[in-house]
Amino acid sequence: MNQYLKLAAAFASDEDGAQILEYGLILAVVSLVLIIAMQGVGDAGFQPLVDALTACLNGGACAWGG
């Protein structure tokens, strides 16, 4: 029985992987915020931005003078 208690205490104090879990939770929250923000913009408001960026990256005219 004492061995199981030592094993449980070692498992509880082990912090390997905790940082990965925290990063995953942060990523999930940021993703949800971005999804909610993009729903408010809608397709009509976001598509012109995507088109302008695509044109600029493909060598076309850039709206910001780049």
Give per-residue pLDDT as tens, 10-39.
Answer: 777 777 777 888 899 999 999 998 877 777
Please check whether residue 66 lies inside any domain of the structure.
Answer: no
C-alpha pair distances (Å), 65 with each of 45, 56, 61? 21, 10, 8
**Residue 47 burial by Cβ neighbours in a 10 Å radius (0-12, 13-18, 19+):** exposed
Number of domains in the chain: 1
Please check whether residue 64 lies inside any domain of the structure.
Answer: no
pLDDT given for residue 65 in this prediction: 57
Range of the domain at 16: 3-58
DSSP at 60? S
Residue 53 in tokens: 């960026």
Q: Say what the pTM is.
A: 0.44
